[in-house]
Amino acid sequence: MNRKELSAVVAESAARIERATALQHESVMKAEAGRAKHEEAIEAARARQEKAQAKQEEVRVKQEEAVARQEAATARLEEIQAGAAERNTKLDGTLAKLDDLIEKVEAGRVRREADYEDEKIWREEYLRRQEKMFQDFLLRADAAMAEARENTEKILARIDDQREDLRAMREAILKLIDRFPPPPPHLRSA
C-alpha cells in the first residue's frame, strides 16, 4: 500500500466518521422534536382538563340549584363526577408515564453523547496507531529496499567477476588447445 492509498483510506475513514456524526446528530434532533411534541400534547391535555373542570363546576352549580326540584339529576351529577375523577386519575397516570418517557429519552441522549465521545476518542487513537504502524512499515520497507539494492549490487559485482574469470579461463583453454599439434588426418572431422 503506498502513501496515496493510505491517505485515501484515512480520508474515507474520516468521511465515514463525519457521516456517522451527522446521523447521530439528526437522531438527537428528532428525539428533541419528539420531546417538544410530547410537551405540547401534555400542555394541551392540561388545558383541556382545566377547561373540563371549569365546565364541570358550572354543571355542578346548576345541578345543586335543581336538587330541590329533581333528585334524579343529583344521581346523574354524581355519575359525571365519578367519571371525571376516573379520567383525571387516568390522565395523571398518563402524565407520569410521559414524564418517565421524557426522562428516559434524555438519559438516552446523554448516554449516546457519552458513547459518541468515547468512540471519537477511540477512533482518533486507532487512526493514530494506524498511522504510526504505516510509518514504521514504510521505514522498514525503505530499509529492506536499501538492503536489497545493496545485495543486488554485490551480486552483480560477483557476476561480473565470474564473467571475467570465465572469459580468462576460455582464453587460457583456447591458447592451450592452440599449442597442441593438429590431429592426424584420419581423426579429423569432416
Residue 67 lies in a domain: yes
Residue 181: DSSP 8-state = P
Residue 5: its pLDDT value, please? 85
Residue 97 lies in a domain: yes
Residue 150 lies in a domain: no
Q: Per-residue pLDDT for 118 more than 60?
A: yes
Residue 180 lies in a domain: no
Residue 164 lies in a domain: no
Residue 127 lies in a domain: yes
Which domain, by its residues, includes 109? 3-142
Q: Specify the number of domains making up the chain.
A: 1
Residue 67: its pLDDT value, please? 63
Name the residue with higher pLDDT: 181 or 152: 152
Residue 187 lies in a domain: no
Assessment of whether the complete model's pTM goes beyond 0.85: no
**pLDDT tens figures, 67-107:** 667 776 677 778 888 888 888 999 999 999 999 999 999 99
Residue 160: its pLDDT value, please? 93
Distance, CA of 90 to chain centre:
42
**pLDDT tens figures, 44-69:** 999 999 999 999 999 888 877 766 67
**pLDDT tens figures, 121-176:** 999 999 999 999 999 999 999 999 999 999 999 999 999 999 999 999 999 999 98
Contact 17, 42 (CB under 8 A): no
Query: What φ, ψ does residue 182 adopt, rounded to 5°?
Result: -65, 150
CA dist 103 and 97 (Å) reads 10
Q: What is the dihedral of CA 61, 62, 65, 68, to 10 degrees?
A: -120
- Grid coordinates belonging to 131: 498511522
Residue 28, H or E segment:
helix 3-66
- Grid coordinates belonging to 142: 525503505
Residue 169 lies in a domain: no
